[in-house]
Amino acid sequence: MENLLAKYAPVNEPEVKTWFKAGPCSAFPPNAGACVRYQDKQIAVFHFTNIDQWYACQNLCPHRMEMVISRGLIGDEKGEPKVACPMHKRTFSLISGENLNGDCQALAVYPVKIMDGYVYIGF
């Protein structure tokens, strides 16, 4: 299981080597998540329409080892965007990936940019 988590290494924006074109903005649901595949990874993408911000993180739940994070509920905690895993309701920051209410391993988060109506994720 550690090998599965190891492939979701977080990326700092200055270290981005590749911008993956995930799809048109219109293909992603407002205020919810969707999953895209990049190579052997599943990435959850979220659009918070009230603040017009986009976030991306691994789709793999580090607790149950299931690809479900994109189906989680989104919200904020003291202004920090978060997602709750639909399986066990543990919440994760979409900024840092940190588990906000437990001892789960953090999620890998990825930079997102919008260009010409398309969502790009940095790897």
Extended strands (E) in the chain: 19-24, 33-38, 41-48, 53-58, 73-77, 80-84, 91-93, 109-110, 112-115, 118-122
* One pLDDT digit (tens) per residue for the chain, 123 residues: 556 666 676 666 668 899 999 999 999 999 999 999 999 999 999 999 999 999 999 999 998 899 999 999 999 988 999 999 999 899 999 999 999 988 889 999 999 999 999 999 999
Residues 20 and 120: beta-carbon distance below 8 Å? yes
Q: What pLDDT does residue 37 have?
A: 98
Q: How far apart are CA 47 and CA 63, in angstroms?
A: 24
What's the token pair of residue 58?
């691994």
pTM recorded for the entire structure: 0.90
For residue 12, the model assigns a pLDDT of 60
Q: What domain count does the chain have?
A: 1
Burial tier of 72 (Cβ tally within 10 Å: 0-12, 13-18, 19+): buried
CATH number at residue 109: 2.102.10.10
Residue range(s) defining the domain that contains residue 103 = 2-122
